[in-house]
Each structure stands twice: as structure tokens, then as C-alpha cells.
Amino acid sequence: MNADKANPSPNASENPLLELHQDWSQRAEQARAQTVPEVERPGAAEGHRVGGAEPHWIRWGEGDDAPPVVAMFDAIELEYAAFRRGVAVVDQTQRGCVQVAGADAEDLLERLLTQKIGDMKDGEVRESFRTNRKGRVQDDLRVLRRSNDFVLASDVGFIGNTVEAINAFVFGEDVELTKPPWRSVGLYGPKATQALAAGLAAVEEAAEAVLLVDEPAHQGFEVLVRTEDVREFWTAVTAIENARPAGWFAHNLIRLEAGQPQFGIDFNQEFLPHETDLVHQRVSFTKGCYPGQEVVARMQHLTDGSTRRRVVGLHFPEGEVPPAGAPILRDENGSPGEVLGQVTSSGPSPMASSRGIGLGVLTRAAKDASLLVVNEDGPGRVEVVERSELVPPVLRETKKDSEEPNQEASS
């Protein structure tokens, strides 16, 4: 992701939700101006809200064709709260998809993906890597099985390569690939089911596919809606009580608190599945062959279970949120030593009193070493934690307990 500001196309027909996004930001700005004095608000991973009643956009990826993504519609605190207490409605312009149909579709995907496909039931969703012959991750996919086809959803920057890879595996098989004109809308939070029902009622069959998302970072649904009908869907889901459009900054905080690495940000196409720390969620070790399977299986049976590098959780010094790319070094009696890794994602955690948390990549040599991270004011100590422990369990449990009465009262 490129954090530089990006401007959406001035032609609203190219972005059917642009007018709705601008209208929401304007109304939110007007409402806040009437009730709350202007204050500084920290962003999820960078900066503060840009003045004016316009959404803040960032470019997702490199190059002129990288899609603009809404970073923030209005107050990040309110967008974050929607994920936790209501439903966050996310315009996922960075998501792409492909339909795979035909009598041989199941067999082909079984031979191409790391996840077991053959025993999936209609409507079931599984997460899977696509690896190359060297066992390197080439895509991180969400796979939906339907009665007549499969839907693969992924980052728009990688789905095109997956389409090419599938085509390369077709040698006379009955397989048809279609890149449909669908737009991805995420519905995440306790009210996601209510929002989905409202959206489906508004557009009926125009919501072509609904993918259940059951990840620590954002539980709910990814809905693939016909582009021509996405305005009606968006209007319906944002109209329910406690619904709010949310941008990447709030979304990023949610995934960081859940310790959820993201392909293209926290790991890339040079990583083996075991190095991502997601291998057990993305790889089946009871299925048949796929490209790179021998490499992945060999890693699984290493005597010491170690890898050359791995994605880890990080707790930063109080008051510090090192940016992505900040080096992590060996602590040699308070002085920085050799570079052992780097920060890949970071942000101030609302659930941990705005303490800086993040994800990063460390080499094998960092095991059991004292570590420093380079901050704005110089090096400071950094603590490696399990990804599930980025927010201490006692805080998560207390937060959950405090929310339960509200959820019951509103149901």
C-alpha cells in the first residue's frame, strides 16, 4: 500500500459510490461542527484528519492503475467504534475476484491451491494460499464454493496473476474463467448480519456472492455486488442503526489489534507459508499435490520447526509508533547492533490505551535476543509477542464483557 494521498476519478461513473462517500463526509462534518469542538485525532497508522468535508484517500499499491481507497470518511474514533459496536461498511476497492466454473473446476483448484477444495460444501468459504513451484506465496485468497462455480476473491494487485496461473494449468479441461463486474463491500461488526439482510432486501439477486468472513481481524461478510446496483446496496446497509462507512485507518487498527498479517503489507511473494505465521489457516497437509507442496511439507517437518524469518507481533516503547519500514536491531548493551528485521505495520491501539502495537518480520537470529527499534527520537526497546497477544487478553476480555449488555439490549 502506498500511503500517499490519492484522488478518486472526477468522473463519478467510474466510482459509483464517490458521490455517496462525499455526501457522508459532508453530513458528518456538519453534525460534528454543531456539537463538538474541533480536536486533533491520531490516525490509524499515520497523520491526522485532513481538514474539510471530503473523504481522505490513499493509493493502494504502486503505479497509476493502483485503486484509490478511502482512508477515513470522518472521525476515526467513530469508524473504529462501528467495527466494535455496530457495523463498519467498507468500500473495498482494493479487492478483485474471479469466477471459476466448469466440470473440472474443482479438480483444477484442488491441484493449484494449498487449501483442500474437494470437500467444500455449497456456501462454504475457506482461506488459501496459491504458491509457486518454489513454495513461495503468490496470492492469499478467499474461496467461496457455490452450486455451479467457485468465486476467488483477493487483493486486486494479485488476482490478475492468479487468473493467469489458472489459465496456465488448463490443458483441455472443462474450465471457464470470468472476471465479473462486481464491487466488494465489507460488512464487519456485531450488526453485520442485520446490515446484510437490509442490503439483500434492497438489491435482491444483484448481490451476486456473499462470503462469510471469520477472521480475528474483521468478522462479518464480504459482499460482491453488481457495480450497477452497488449504490442501492450501500445506501441500504449504511441506513441501519449503528452503521457507519469506515476507511482503511480504522480497518487497519482492527486488524493490528487482532494480529492479522496482510499479504502485500506484512509479507510478500518471497515468503514461504510457514514464514507468514498463517500456514495452519491457509494450508491443508492432508490433500494432494499443488505447486510447491514438497517445499511446504518439508518445512512442516523440520526438526526444530524454525524458519529463516517469520511475521511476529510487536509492542513498542510507550508513546512511540515506529512507521512501517523502521529497522529492528540487536540491543548490544543499549547500543544498536546488527539489523534483524523491520516493522511492517503499526498503529496506536485503542484497546491498549493507545499503546503502539504492530507487526514485523524478524530473522531467525533474533530469537531470544534483546531488540531495539529505530524511532523518531532514536532507538527504543521493542518486545516481541505472539500475534494473539498484541492486545493483552485481560483487556480483550474486559472490553468484551463491557459490550455484552449493550449488544443484548440492542438485539
pLDDT recorded at residue 286:
92
Task: Give the model confidence (pLDDT) of 354-376 as tens digits.
Answer: 999 999 999 999 999 999 998 87
d(CA 52, CA 44): 19
Q: What ranges make up the beta strands (E) of 214-326?
A: 220-226, 243-245, 309-315
pLDDT recorded at residue 52:
55
d(CA 172, CA 176): 11
Q: Which residue has the higher pLDDT, 30 or 60?
A: 60
327: Cβ–Cβ under 8 A, 6 or more apart, which residues? 339, 341, 342, 373, 374
Helix, strand, coil shares of the chain, percent, nearest 5, are: 30, 30, 35
Mean pLDDT across the stretch 276-297? 94
The single-letter code of the amino acid at 72 is M
d(CA 23, CA 52): 12
pLDDT band at 248 (very low <50, low <70, confident <90, very high): very high
**pTM > 0.85: yes or no:** yes
Q: Which three cell numbers stand for residue 223?
A: 459482499
- In which element (H, E) is residue 178 found? strand 176-178
Mean pLDDT across the stretch 202-227? 93
Q: What percent of the chain has pLDDT over 90?
A: 73
CA-wise closest residue to 100 among 45, 152, 140: 152
Q: Which domains does the chain have, with CATH numbers?
A: 2-94+181-257 (3.30.1360.120), 308-411 (2.40.30.110)
d(CA 212, CA 193): 10
The single-letter code of the amino acid at 375 is N
Beta-bridge mates of residue 42 = 48
Of 44-53, 67-76, 398-407, where does mean pLDDT reach its minimum? 398-407
pLDDT recorded at residue 8:
61
